[in-house]
Amino acid sequence: MAAYFGIINDYEKFVKAFQSLSGLDLNYYKENQMKRRINNFMATHEYKDNYTDFLKALDCDSNLYDAFFKHLTINVTQFFRDLRLWDVYREKIIPELLAGKTSLKIWSAGCSGGQEAYTMAMIMAEYFPNIRYSILGTDIDINVLQQARAGNYEERDFASTPRPFLDKYFTPADNKFQVKESLKGNIRFQEQNLLTDRFDRGFDIIACRNVVIYFTDEAKNVLYQKFTDSLNIGGILFTGSTEHLFGKSHFGLKSISSFFYQKQ
């Protein structure tokens, strides 16, 4: 593979070569921000401005590759991230959805280490114990999916978590916290690239939060349309707390509370 790269001296060629190496097409991400992140990473790993050597190193050093992929995809997250919005989710969004249903199909798109998906499962278990539900967690980064499946977390992951949830749904083990098996039963984690892979349908809730920040506007528009197509009528798209959807009526979505959009 390395020989294939030849001399690479500009970003466009880097993007092409990196796509053939990783499958990730950086053309969907905002160029300036990606360039900055790539250059910072290269500088701290002593590959300043040398895309060719950097790509060769990525090709043969899997630790460097994993670190770089993680740096690009940015998987910072927490249980109950933006706690106030989870109150709205529990007090308004779920009860209104359940007015005409007895089960819920939920998707955490860009789920990172699973903290968002388990937050959703805790809310179901705690407040809606008689409702059947399934939660799909997807991410492009297979390393974070491993953590999600294992369900083993650091104390800092719980900075926003009300203490009773930690005590009830996790077991302390070796300075970490292991999610209880009872919470795992309704959750499935799967690798998926939101920009290129096909989506399942029939969801009542899709949470896609803090994932699209680096996507281009064109990529976001395509993605939001695909999410809308995957929702049931009346279903909810839950976005990150800095992510307002502009032109949402084009997608057939209506804002029903800040960061919650309903399919009409």
Q: Candidates 9-17, 34-42, 76-84, 173-181: pick the segment binding ligand SAM (CB under 6 A).
A: 76-84
CB of 259 to ligand SAM, least distance (A): 11
H helix runs in 110-175, sequence order = 115-127, 142-150, 163-169
Count residues near ligand SAM (CB under 6 A): 22
Nearest approach in angstroms of CB 52 to ligand SAM is: 25
Q: Which of 14, 15, 34, 75 binds ligand SAM (CB under 6 A)?
A: 75
Tokens read off for 177: 């916290």
The nearest distance, CB 48 to ligand SAM, in angstroms, is: 26
x-marked contacts with ligand SAM along 127-166 as a string, rule CB under 6 A? ------------xxx--x----------------------
| CA 155/CA 148 separation, integer angstroms | 15
74 contributes a contact to ligand SAM by CB under 6 A: yes
Please give the DSSP secondary-structure letter assigned to residue 29. Answer: B
CA distances from 127 to 90, 95, 96, 122, 230 (A): 8, 10, 14, 8, 26
Q: Which residues of 123-157 are buried (b: 16+ CB within 10 A; e: fewer)?
A: bbbeeeeeeebebbbbbbbeebbebbeebbbeeeb
Task: Select the residue interacting with ligand SAM from 15, 77, 125, 236 (CB under 6 A).
Answer: 77
How crowded is residue 7: how many other Cβ atoms within 10 Å of its Cβ? 8
Distance, CA of 106 to CA of 186 (rounded, Å) = 10
Select the residue interacting with ligand SAM from 152, 161, 210, 262 (CB under 6 A).
Answer: 210
Instruction: Please give the backbone phi and psi of residue 165, each rounded to the nearest 5 degrees, phi first.
Output: -70, -40
CA dihedral sign of residues 133, 139, 142, 146: negative
Nearer to ligand SAM, 81 or 263 (CB): 81
Which listed residue (58, 105, 112, 137) binds ligand SAM by CB under 6 A? 112
Q: Quick one: 86 or 169, whose CB is closer to ligand SAM?
A: 86
- Supply the minimum distance, in Å, between the C-beta of residue 72 and ligand SAM: 8
| Closer by beta carbon to ligand SAM, 46 or else 209 | 209
Contact residues: ligand SAM, CB under 6 A: 73-77, 81, 110-112, 116, 139-141, 144, 192-195, 209-211, 240
